[in-house]
Amino acid sequence: MDFDYLFNKNDALTLAVIRQLNTNATNTITKNTLIAEYNLTAYQQNRLFDAINAAFQAVGGEPPCYLEETTKDLWRAHHLTTYCVQQVTLWLLEQSAAFKVLNYYCFESNAQTTAAYAKNHYLTEAVFFRQTKVLKAKFGEDLGRANTKFSEFELRQWLFGLYYTVYTGIATPFPALADQVAPYLKACIHIIGHSLLPTQRVKLTTFIKVWLLRRRNGDNLPATPRHYTAGGYDALSAALETAGESPVPTAECDYLYQFLVTQHYLELPAAQLPTLFPLADELTRQFIAQLAQSNVATLTEPILRDLTSRLMQIHLRFTTFYLEPTTFIAADQVSFFANLYPEFETVITRFLNGLKARPEFNLSENMLTNLYFSDMFALINTIPSTALTQVIQICVDFSAGALYSDYVMRSLAAFGHANIRVTQNLDANTDIYIADFHADDLTIPQVIWQNPPTPHDWSQLAALILDCTQQKGGRA
């Protein structure tokens, strides 16, 4: 998720360059790059160099990370890892005036005055109100409250996403809330029916903390009639009655229950999900209908059941507790799957274009890319090559006999491409022939492996499969 606007200009630059160093295979950056991309003077470069090392020193680590210029005009970071970048991100964020002001309006505005809060967090009143003005442009005039820009649900989503993204694996947010959170966590675990794995516990704990802080600040969800009647709801409602100092309204109980279901803490029978989450069911049915219409694959009952289940989980998250993704958002990687699975690409693109046309979905490019990957993986993992109407058929034929052919066939089976079918039969449908000797009478592409295939051999085969897929797509 994007929260870089919470940093001041200097900290944003420091973090941007550290991220750039981390993504570079050699952890280096040239001064020419700094000039070209950031228009930095020599003085600004020196100040940036010191700021980066100060950030590295602040987060510590063993061995410690540091930046040096061993070669003229070339900066190199030593011992830099993604974990170190995450630590620096959190360190800079917790120093940010905008972050402190945002926390006041979202969590503390009912508890203390702006003057008291500013003093307690080492902010001058001028800085506090300057940051308030900036944040209002982003979140609306009634900062920290539900307004025309953000509903209470959306504000909570954003706050949970921020704290979960930035703190997880690095530090514990709101540690003073541990005792207050414990009874609610216990109530949830009681209906879940089993202990939680560490990642599950952290996620649920962070969610409950944001939930508690918003309610404590007077920011409640609009009152609604009871929405859920599925398994576990009554038990949760009863458990929550004794977990805190005050009763939990129905809308808030619904909210917590929905989180437990959509985040897979509480497993419900698949038959109950469409009634509980009609929008997710609508999107899933729409996707399945478009897939069937495309005639990409023969959709047997077991395939349909498995695919529907996977898509329902994707669309559940998308239409309820959808966290803005930080991974699988590289748009430049989409072309790889588009070329390798052109039929799947057509279905997914049509589906996403339909979502973009719907005003209730405010889709960022990252969300679209992440949803593309999710739907693509669901199709790849569910639809076997035997069900596809158009596949790349590979014949394996080694002169040394079945032992060698079986080895290559097993390796190809693990190659990771759902649109290939590997056999030892050579016929008019064969697209690629793999053997240890060239066959003069064949006109199809041939791959000759006289030794166990190397990584380079696999790369060449992948390129050939891609070429065949594109040619078949063009003939379709």
Domain boundaries, the chain: 4-93, 97-150, 173-259, 271-386, 390-475
Residue-averaged pLDDT of the chain: 89
pLDDT in the model for residue 204: 96
Distance CA 348, CA 351 (A): 5
Distance CA 97, CA 104 (A): 11
Fold of 390-475: Rossmann fold (3.40.50)
Fold of 271-386: PTS-regulatory domain, PRD (1.10.1790)
pLDDT in the model for residue 325: 63
Question: How sure is the predictor about 473, in pLDDT bands with cuts at 50, 70 and 90?
Answer: low
Residues 105-122 have a mean pLDDT of: 95
Least confident of 39-43, 151-155, 209-213, 414-418: 414-418
Residue type present at position 322 = Y
Please say if the pLDDT value at position 463 is more than 60. Answer: yes
Least confident of 127-136, 219-228, 269-278, 445-454: 219-228
pLDDT in the model for residue 101: 97
pLDDT in the model for residue 326: 62
- 54: which residues sit within 8 A by CB, 6+ positions away? none
Q: What is the pLDDT of residues 139-166, one digit of tens each?
A: 999 999 998 888 999 899 999 999 999 9
Per DSSP, the three-state class of 113 is coil
Please say if the pLDDT value at position 418 is more than 80. Answer: no
pLDDT in the model for residue 474: 53
325 or 334, which is more confident?
334
Question: How sure is the predictor about 476, in pLDDT bands with cuts at 50, 70 and 90?
Answer: very low
Q: What is the dihedral of CA 252, 257, 263, 269, to 10 degrees?
A: -160
Residue 390, token pair as written in the block: 């158009």
pLDDT in the model for residue 24: 93
Please say if the pLDDT value at position 432 is more than 80. Answer: yes
User: Running DSSP on this structure, what letter comes out for residue 300?
Assistant: -
pTM confidence score:
0.78
In sequence order, what DSSP letters do the residues of 1-40 get, joined into one string?
---GGGS-HHHHHHHHHHHHHHHSTT-EEEHHHHHHHH--
